[in-house]
Amino acid sequence: MPNQRDQTKKTDEEKKVIGERKILIFDTTLRDGEQSPGCSMNLHEKLELARQLERLGVDVIEAGFAISSIGDFQSVRGIAEAVKESTVASLARATKDDIDRAWEAVSVAARPRIHTFIATSPIHMKYKLNLMPHQVQEQAVAAVKLAKSYCEDVEFSAEDATRSRPEFLAQLFEAVIKAGATTINIPDTVGYTVPEEYYAFLMKIRERCPALDKVVMSVHCHNDLGMAVANSLAAIKAGAGQIECTINGIGERAGNAAMEEIVMALKTRKDHFQADTNIETTEIARASRLLSQITGIKVQPNKAIVGENAFMHESGIHQHGVLKNKETYEIMTPESVGLVVDNMVLGKHSGKHAFRTKVKELGYQMSDEALEDAFTKFKVIADKKKQIYDRDIEALLSKIALQIPKTYQMERYVINSGNSITATAVVKMLKDGRAIEEVASGDGPVDAAFRAIEKIIGKKVKLDDYQLESVTEGGDALGDATVKISYEGGNYLGRGLSTDVIEASINAYINAVNKMMFELKQLEKEAESAVGGGN
């Protein structure tokens, strides 16, 4: 397990920045980010995102809250087994059961961490915990000692720290550090503070708790007032050595501090912050796109760093300046975050070797079987499109990478629609090799097709959201359809790609249905195991 000193070693190039520090990036996209409404992910999707976080160079991946559910436990353990370079952490309340379960999940990790927390603000201690401050401290110390008996790397968080008394926090931190905590997190849990106040608050705690200088001081800021990134940067000026954040800033309520904004602020303004991170910034754009593909939640066009318009210039004055010298209006390059201008490099005559090379260039690692599947689908697209862009291929690859076992497969469909007739769809699907065909009418061709599929699966699902957009420009662009459905409390997102928007929509709906069926089968297995374990 590398210690803080190991992780702050600098290359000769880095030493040119006088006094530069390495700031650890603790990514909680898979835990706090997933708690954002509509952002739930299945195990396969979490593993794919965790691998991308590892490629990104994230120091710590908070994989989940192991005790919250069997599914969360399996996700944390699966990520702990798969990830080799990053530290893998599980969140745990300051209780024995939570910590035992967290350790059971992360014990298989190459670099495990237990992250335990308890609320420390007067309002939380009184109304949520019903504990006195001394009782909170006793519980926190006992939790850290138990976690320390399992692993060396223990993080302690004081929930709602920014509404807590600095004097109490200093006393508490002194005690948990003595008990073995190696990272102390001082979060702005409800997004309450502002940069100048947060800086002063942290400095006051550091002054009252000298032991903080012997461990890693961390912060976790929420964006309720739109200041999560600004507060995180203020914390770095106050001595924080770890920032907790998420891709695209997703998270509960208004979200968390956006990792990409923090990382690029430090890199672009080294002169001011005299700090940097271990993040491979050229992987940022891909991480952002992957998360959007998994959750179906797109970033707004003007989003800093990863928004579609982040590096676009429409004003004539700006365009003139950029053409003369990009630095007139660009403080960083799109290439530095992994954004590149699409180049048409593949077409219908391209062979498997060229396709394999392009897959590697785009950063995907696929089995021979998956690659063969991707190449077959690429050829189908290439026969329909004149120009094949990197974004087309990446959209195809990400869909295949996130595939789950298919309960249903679409064999064919026929749509009858017009402005003077009721839309009708005939859909034929395969289930376990058996063909099932149904017909339905609806308010338009897509609605009719969805109703026919609902008849085939024999379950009443609710369509929560449906979106359609093009992957690239042009009349033959790939249509990227996103469908969100819900069934018996579960939410499922499906995506479909095709140059035919109706086909893309149908594929997206079937993809969501297959995810639903996969999860229902998993729940059945878990129930059977639970019954078997009790006999």
Q: What domains are there in the chain, each with its CATH number?
A: 20-295 (3.20.20.70), 352-401 (no CATH), 408-524 (3.30.160.270)
pLDDT attached to residue 455: 96
Q: In this predicted model, what pLDDT tens digit does every residue of 109-162 receive, in sequence order?
A: 999 999 999 999 999 999 999 999 999 999 999 999 999 999 999 999 999 999
**227 or 314, greater pLDDT:** 227
Output the pLDDT for position 197. 98
Q: Is the pLDDT assigned to residue 301 strictly greater than 50?
A: yes
What's residue 340's pLDDT? 67
53: left (phi > 0), else alpha (psi -120 to 50), else beta?
alpha
* The most confident of 326-330, 410-414, 488-492, by mean pLDDT: 410-414
**Which residues neighbour 279 within 8 Å (Cβ) at sequence distance 6 or greater?**
25, 56, 57, 58, 259, 263
532 band by pLDDT with thresholds 50, 70 and 90: low
pLDDT at 5: 39
Q: What percent of the chain has pLDDT over 90?
A: 66
From residue 515, alpha-carbon distances to 147, 427, 521 in Å are 36, 19, 10
State the alpha helices, DSSP H only, in 238-367.
259-268, 270-273, 284-295, 316-324, 352-361
Specify the pLDDT at position 172.
98
Q: What is the pLDDT of residue 19?
A: 59
Supply the pLDDT for residue 317.
Answer: 41
In which band, very low, low, confident or very high, does the pLDDT at 325 lie, cut at 50, 70 and 90?
low
Average pLDDT of the residues of the chain:
88
Distance from C-alpha of 53 to C-alpha of 61, rounded to nearest angstrom: 8
Instruction: Encode pLDDT of 159-214 as tens digits.
Output: 999 999 999 999 999 999 999 999 999 999 999 999 999 999 999 999 999 999 99
Q: Supply the pTM of this predicted model.
A: 0.81
- 494: its two tokens: 């499906």
Query: CA nearest 240: which of 185, 279, 192?
Result: 185
Write down the pLDDT at residue 13.
43
Q: What is the pLDDT of residue 327?
A: 58
> In this prediction, what percent of the chain has a pLDDT beyond 70?
89
* Residue whose tokens read 């309520």: 253
- Residue 313: per-residue pLDDT: 46
The pLDDT value given to residue 326: 61
CA 495 to chain centre: 17
User: Is the pLDDT reported for residue 236 higher than 60?
Assistant: yes
Q: Which of 499, 491, 448, 492 is nearest to 471 (CA)?
A: 499
Question: In DSSP terms, which residues pair with 87 in a beta bridge?
Answer: 60
Q: Which residue has the higher pLDDT, 386 or 382?
A: 382
Greater pLDDT, 245 or 368: 245
pLDDT digits (tens, 9 = 90+) for 430-485: 998 899 999 999 999 999 999 999 999 999 999 999 999 887 766 678 888 999 99
Rounded distance, CA 217 to CA 183, Å?
A: 6
Q: Does the structure show a pLDDT above 50 at 15?
A: no
Element containing residue 54 per DSSP (H, E)? helix 43-56
pLDDT higher at 421 or 521? 421
Looking at 50-59, 261-270, 287-296, 308-317, which range is the least confident one? Answer: 308-317
pLDDT in tens, 84-109: 999 999 999 999 999 999 999 999 99
Q: What is the pLDDT of residue 336?
A: 92
Cα separation, 245 vs 185, in Å, equals 12
pLDDT at 477: 80
Q: Give the pair of three-digit tokens for residue 7.
A: 């992780």
Give the per-residue pLDDT at 309: 83
CB 351: neighbour CB atoms within 10 A?
Answer: 10
Summarised one tens digit per residue, pLDDT across range 404-441 is 788 999 999 999 999 999 999 999 999 988 999 999 99
CA distance to 281, 494, 512, per residue, from 463 (Å)? 37, 11, 10
Residue 312's pLDDT is 66
Whose structure tokens read 């807590």?
164
Q: What is the pLDDT of residue 530?
A: 58
Residue pair 402/293 in contact (Cβ under 8 Å)? The answer is yes
